[in-house]
Amino acid sequence: MPRPVGELRMRFLRQSLMGLLLASLTLALLVYSGRLVFDAVQTRMNDDRRPPSARERVFAVNVRRAELRTETPVLTAFGQVQSRRTLELRAAVGGRVVWLADAFEEGGTVAAGEVLVRIDPADAQSALERVQSDLLDAEAEGRDAERALLLARDERAAAEDQAALRERALQRQRDLQDRGVGTAAAVETAELAVAAARSAVLARRQAVAQAEARVDQAATRLARARIALEAARRDLAETTIAAAFDGTLSGVSLVAGRLVSANEKLAELVDPSALEVAFRVSTAQYARLLDGDGALIALPVAVSLDASGAGLSAQGTISRDSAAAGEGQSGRLIFARMGAAPGFKPGDFVTVSVEEPAVERVARLPATALDASGTVLVLDGEDRLEELAVELVRRQGDDVLLRGPGLDGREVVIGRTPLLGAGIRVRPVREEADAGEPEAAMLLLSDERRARLVAFVQGGRLPADVKARVLDQLAAARVPARLVARIESRNGG
């Protein structure tokens, strides 16, 4: 028979209460065990009161041995190439251009004395012929004045002779009158004749003076005619423009048939064999280029120009400096004459390296070895760091030239960081001061890449000798990585 409903309910209630009791006991046991574990950990931590052992931190640093020796500092500046001989070709006379030389073009090479431009000489030729006619007239006038002067002098001599006769006649009349033979009327007549003769002599003297003045005027006119003749000949000669020296033409804008005015600029003639470089240095750098007497030393310079992946270079010598600093400028402008400089053109911006006078007893180290306070970190006998005061003599790119007491032979930290200081123990990593160029600087090129580089160099505007040198380097098995990088940077990679 089925059990009554009330009995079933009572049974369910007993079982539920039993389950709840068991769960409460289990939870209480878990809480108690957790508390025991926590108390055990706390007790363990409170019992261990010994301080942890401290260990000194050791840094690895790059060091290099400082060796005092004689160094030749190199001053690096930027300048511009220019020619010491540049001539402006200008039209001395106006007119129409009737002839141009084949080489009269931009970049044309001409020789000294070569005729470049001819201007229509018709007007100058006509002026010359007119001046020649005026010269003939002046010469004829001079001859006529000489003849007139000769005749005037003859007439003066005749008048003087006539006056002398009149004087003797007057003297005879006076003698006759003294002897009682002559009359007073005859003496008076003779005196009047003498006075008339003297007047005639005076007139002839005046005529001679006028003839002499005419001769002088004729000489002046002749001299002016000759001056005008020389000027006309120069004007005619200046219708032809020739090269004063061997050079290259620049700024050419003239065409045949064009009308030019007097003093109009036609082109510039530049001597490519007389190049020099002008570069500006600071006043402190300029002071290092002077000798004991304050004169500029003729130091050697190296001029370089990076062109289409191939470095153009030339040698030169300092020749002079500017007379003034220049308005709104600072430092000094220095000029250096260049020797053989193939590939260089006036106007190129170049890098100039000047070998300064040698500096004795200095150490060359990386610039990272020196701090702002003028000290370096050196190793002591226990591989600990100590600060050493040094004198900064010169900066050379990423290097510095230093000197100071106790620096010679010491190992210097070449890579300083804010973590390094005096008294810190380090692990030195020594390197050679003069490390050679790694072999990674030489590349093995594929045939396709080599052909692309060769084609770019052959199509570039380089001097023949520079192009041949670059092609020889590209033909080698290994090619300098620097050369490849330069060419590819200009070829768009």
In the prediction, which pLDDT does 431 show? Answer: 65
Residues 476 and 445 grouped into a single domain? yes
Structure-model confidence comparison of residues 310 and 15, the more confident one:
15
Average pLDDT over residues 179-195: 81
Whether 307 is in a domain gets the answer: yes
State the CATH number of the domain containing residue 148. 1.10.287.620
380 pLDDT tier (thresholds 50, 70, 90): confident
Average pLDDT over residues 450-460: 81
pLDDT at position 222 over 50: yes
Average pLDDT over residues 435-444: 54
Long-range CB contacts for residues 124-132, cutoff 8 Å, separation at least 24: 124/93, 124/95, 124/232, 124/235, 124/236, 124/238, 124/239, 125/236, 127/232, 127/235, 127/236, 128/229, 128/232, 128/233, 128/235, 128/236, 130/232, 131/225, 131/228, 131/229, 131/231, 131/232, 132/229, 132/232
Whether 31 is in a domain gets the answer: no
pLDDT tens digit sequence for 140-157:
888 888 888 888 888 888
pLDDT at position 230 over 70: yes
State the CATH number of the domain containing residue 412. 2.40.420
Residues 303 and 344 grouped into a single domain? yes
Whether 30 is in a domain gets the answer: no
In the prediction, which pLDDT does 433 show? Answer: 41
In the prediction, which pLDDT does 490 show? Answer: 65
Residues 288 and 330 grouped into a single domain? yes
Residues 213 and 262 grouped into a single domain? no
Whether 39 is in a domain gets the answer: no
Q: What percent of the chain has pLDDT over 70?
A: 92
Whether 32 is in a domain gets the answer: no
492 pLDDT tier (thresholds 50, 70, 90): low
Highest mean pLDDT among 189-198, 224-233, 413-422: 224-233
Residues 145 and 99 grouped into a single domain? no
Domain of residue 301, residue span: 275-355
Residues 229 and 263 grouped into a single domain? no
Residues 134 and 219 grouped into a single domain? yes
In the prediction, which pLDDT does 437 show? Answer: 42
Q: Which residues of 360-379 are buried (b: 16+ CB within 10 A; e: fewer)?
A: eebbbbbeebbeeeebbbbb
Whether 145 is in a domain gets the answer: yes
Residues 417 and 445 grouped into a single domain? no
Whether 61 is in a domain gets the answer: no
The domain boundary, picked from 355, 379, 409, lies at 355
Q: What is the mean pLDDT of the chain?
A: 83
Of the ranges 156-165, 220-229, 290-299, 307-316, which one carries the lowest mean pLDDT score?
A: 307-316
Of the ranges 211-220, 253-262, 287-296, which one carries the lowest mean pLDDT score?
A: 253-262
Residues 425 and 346 grouped into a single domain? no
pLDDT tens digit sequence for 78-101:
999 988 888 888 888 888 888 888
The domain boundary, picked from 237, 252, 283, lies at 237
Per the CB < 8 A criterion, the answer to whether 303 and 318 are in contact is: no
pLDDT tens digit sequence for 299-320:
889 898 876 556 788 888 998 8
Highest mean pLDDT among 41-45, 181-185, 363-367: 363-367
Whether 159 is in a domain gets the answer: yes
Per the CB < 8 A criterion, the answer to whether 103 and 269 are in contact is: no
Residues 110 and 251 grouped into a single domain? yes
The domain boundary, picked from 381, 402, 430, lies at 430
Alpha-carbon distance of 303 to 313, in angstroms, equals 5
Residues 367 and 349 grouped into a single domain? no
Residues 149 and 213 grouped into a single domain? yes
Total domains in the fold of the chain:
5
pLDDT at position 335 over 90: yes
In the prediction, which pLDDT does 489 show? Answer: 65
Please tell me the pTM assigned to this model: 0.56
